[in-house]
């Protein structure tokens, strides 16, 4: 099970997920078992310093179906259930820096704590939206900024929202009116890592760190 949902383990969810996987033989054979489409917006202050990453994660239709069905049957209905789920997701992600690694040049950037977040249902999919602050603002014009967002266990694949092979125009954006270029680099995993992932079935737990090898890289360069 992904670290993202490791506390969310009711019998209804397990039963529903098992049913969905039975309908998807290819999904049951190897990691990943689902995916998340992300959009990232860099939040920049008036001095051109990066303050935070605003991230929106859309769960795939199958995970969303399971969650919506179960949460609709809990106390308070779907809306209250989504609120509770948001707190659980935030708590699950916190020890893992919210699945985000951020670098400026050769320096790894320290991240702060998420206090602003919400979970919603949009077009039949569950979406987790949150603001991930940096521990200290950094000037974007100094060096190239790179980030990766990934589930360490690779149970869920995290990819930038895209149509076909090209990321959407709003999959990676920069606020603050800066003159920046952005691009999303596809993952290029070693064949041995691909083989390792293919040998994991739905019951297996990958060693933390596997997901890094399958992660896309967002790149931002500003004048």
Tell me the β-bridge partners of 85.
Answer: none
∠ CA 200-204-208, rounded to 5°: 90
Over the range 147-162, which residues count as b (16 or more CB within 10 Å of their CB) and which as e? Answer: bbbbbbbbbbbbbbbe
Structure tokens, 53:
């990453």
Residue 173's domain comprises 3-222
Structure tokens, 147:
């980030």
Task: Give residue-wise pLDDT tens across range 143-160.
Answer: 999 999 999 988 889 999
- Give the global pTM: 0.85
Average pLDDT score, the chain: 85
Task: Give residue-wise pLDDT tens across range 175-222.
Answer: 988 899 999 999 988 888 777 777 766 556 666 678 888 999 999 999
How many folded domains does the chain comprise? 1
Task: Give residue-wise pLDDT tens across range 55-72.
Answer: 999 999 988 998 999 999
Q: What pLDDT does residue 11 have?
A: 41
Q: Is a pLDDT exceeding 70 seen at residue 30?
A: no
């Amino acid at each position: 099970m992904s670290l993202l949902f490791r506390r969310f383990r009711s019998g209804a969810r397990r039963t529903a997920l098992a049913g969905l996987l039975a309908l998807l033989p290819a999904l049951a054979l190897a990691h990943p078992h689902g995916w998340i489409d992300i959009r990232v917006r860099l939040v920049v202050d008036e001095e051109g310093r990066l303050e935070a990453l605003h991230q929106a994660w859309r769960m795939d239709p199958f995970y969303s179906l399971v969650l919506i069905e179960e949460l609709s049957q809990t106390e308070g209905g779907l809306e209250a259930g989504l609120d509770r789920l948001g707190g659980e997701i935030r708590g699950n992600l916190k020890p893992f820096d919210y699945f985000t690694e951020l670098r400026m040049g050769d320096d790894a950037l320290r991240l702060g704590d998420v206090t602003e977040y919400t979970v919603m249902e949009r077009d039949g999919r569950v979406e987790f939206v949150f603001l991930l602050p940096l521990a200290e603002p950094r000037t974007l014009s100094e060096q190239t900024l790179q980030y990766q967002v990934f589930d360490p266990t690779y149970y869920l694949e995290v990819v930038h929202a895209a149509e076909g092979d090209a990321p959407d125009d709003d999959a990676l954006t920069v606020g603050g009116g800066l003159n920046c270029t952005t691009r999303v680099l596809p993952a290029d995993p070693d064949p041995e890592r691909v083989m390792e992932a293919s040998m994991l079935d739905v019951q297996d737990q990958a060693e933390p760190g596997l997901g890094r090898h399958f992660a896309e890289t967002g790149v931002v360069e500003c004048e």
